[in-house]
Amino acid sequence: MGDRPLIYAGLFLFVALVTLPVWQGIAAQSSTVGPELKAPAHKKQCVAPRAYMREAHMELLMAWRDGKVRKHERHYTAADGTVYNVSLTGTCLTQCHGSKEKFCDRCHEYAGVSAPNCWGCHTSPPAEPGGVAAVAAGGMR
Ligand code: HEC
Ligand code: HEC
């Protein structure tokens, strides 16, 4: 009879220890959330809707490349009528997303995608692109 409190205490400790990873997961909360991708401050929309870009940005990039290199299509007209210069470095990175490290690599690393082989030939703007940083700073004032 006198052992009961001790047994309950032991059981409680056991259950607490066994389920510890679950509690840690709940406390950390971030375990299943991907890297937060900052949208450029001065743009509301990518060249195509967000859901499409998430799924098919690689196909769009290849279509851009083939169009420009093989058919001399230097401009891309988005669904909303905006015309963009076809350029991985000049448009995607320099105008909006900044360096590949901060944008492309972060997500690929998180998703376990091996880094696409683009940067042996194409360049990425430096890690702190003046344009994007300046716009962000402007927004703070
Ligand atoms: C072996 C070198 C090489 C590699 C690797 C490479 N490209 Fe290119 N890419 C080029 C060249 C050269 C052009 C033609 C540039 C032009 O016409 O202005 C080009 C053009 C492009 C264009 C259209 C023009 C531009 O400046 O953006 C896109 C988009 C593009 N490549 C995307 C990619 C992507 C995405 C990858 C990685 C999966 C990649 N490329 C890998 C050499 C390369
Ligand atoms: C929001 C996350 C995310 C961002 C940001 C992102 N990617 Fe991706 N990318 C992925 C995922 C996930 C895959 C793998 C898709 C698959 O295998 O079906 C992928 C695949 C690719 C591929 C095909 C790789 C292969 O080996 O087949 C290319 C090329 C690519 N991304 C280029 C880029 C470039 C260039 C950027 C930056 C301008 C970029 N991605 C930004 C998530 C992202």
pLDDT digits (tens, 9 = 90+) for 1-31: 678 888 888 888 888 888 877 777 666 655 5
Q: Which of 31, 40, 27 is nearest to 98 (CA)?
A: 40
Q: How is residue 110 written in tokens?
A: 């998180």
**pTM for this entry:** 0.78
Tell me the per-residue pLDDT of 74-133, one tens digit each, with 9 for 90 and over: 999 999 899 999 999 999 999 999 999 989 999 999 999 998 999 999 999 876 544 444
Note the ligand closest to the C-alpha atom of 117: 1
> How far apart are the C-alpha atoms of 39 and 97, rounded to whole Å?
8
Atom 38 of ligand 1, nearest CA residue: 118
Tokens 């009528």 correspond to 81
Atom 28 of ligand 2, nearest CA residue: 58
Q: How far, CA to CA in Å, does 40 sit from each of 116, 135, 141?
A: 23, 9, 17
Sign of the alpha-carbon torsion through 15, 17, 21, 23: positive
